[in-house]
């Protein structure tokens, strides 16, 4: 069984087993805090993806979003059509790369991770879509970003941030190389 590491902001080591498989993903995951500068928003995934009621082909993730100037945080439901998720997954071509990384796992662990990949992928894509809305500005009220919003922009954003998407998946699956503590 491989070991996974807990990340901190100034990791630079390269794991000999996963480093060649992960490539740039490793560096993105291990330096995730340092790559993201201070943001006006503090965002956490609340839950999801879940099918939207009455729309089984649309997935939604709900995020907690808080801006320093707001009195309280808000919930933002981010919807993505299953067809768009499939299209983005195909365009990013990360399925084979993730399967290759999962080869270091024990068989039962690999199977569990493979079952989680679609949900974690949907979370990463929803996060990209939320980032588009945050960049455009957001008011301090609960919101719903529909599956029909930001469609073409999301395609481009996910392609531009393909390394982030892959790193997010690996991080959420705890497939992160041991990073030496500072």
Helix axis angle for 151-160 and 82-92, nearest 10°, is 30
**How many angstroms separate the Cα of 147 from the Cα of each of 45, 71, 83, 128, 129?**
18, 28, 10, 13, 10
Q: What is the mean pLDDT of residues 118-127?
A: 97
**CB-based contact 128:155 (threshold 8 Å):** no
Element (H, E) at 57: strand 55-67
**CB-based contact 78:60 (threshold 8 Å):** yes
Average pLDDT, the chain: 81
pLDDT at 2 over 50: no
Residue 170: count of CB within 10 angstroms of its CB: 27
- pLDDT tens for residues 66-92? 998 999 999 999 999 999 999 999 999
Pick the closest to residue 76 from 135, 141, 153 (CA basis): 141
Q: Where are the domains of the chain?
A: 19-172
pLDDT at 9 over 90: no
pLDDT at 25 over 70: no
pTM above 0.85, yes or no: no
């Amino acid at each position: 069984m491989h070991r996974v590491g807990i990340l901190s902001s100034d990791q630079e080591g390269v794991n000999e087993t996963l480093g060649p498989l992960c490539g740039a993903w490793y560096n993105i995951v291990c330096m995730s805090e340092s790559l993201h500068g201070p943001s006006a928003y503090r965002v956490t995934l609340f839950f999801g993806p879940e099918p939207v009621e009455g729309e089984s082909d649309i997935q939604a993730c709900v995020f907690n979003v808080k801006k320093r100037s707001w009195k309280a945080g808000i919930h933002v439901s981010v919807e993505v059509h299953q067809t768009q998720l499939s299209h983005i997954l195909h365009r990013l071509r990360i399925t084979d790369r993730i399967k290759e990384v999962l080869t270091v796992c024990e068989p039962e662990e690999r199977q569990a991770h493979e079952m989680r990949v679609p949900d974690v992928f949907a979370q990463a894509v929803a996060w990209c879509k939320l980032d588009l809305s945050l960049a455009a500005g957001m008011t301090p009220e609960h919101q719903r970003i529909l599956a029909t919003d930001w469609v073409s922009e999301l395609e481009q954003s996910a392609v531009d941030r393909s390394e982030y998407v892959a790193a997010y998946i690996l991080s959420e699956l705890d497939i992160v190389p041991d990073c030496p503590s500072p």
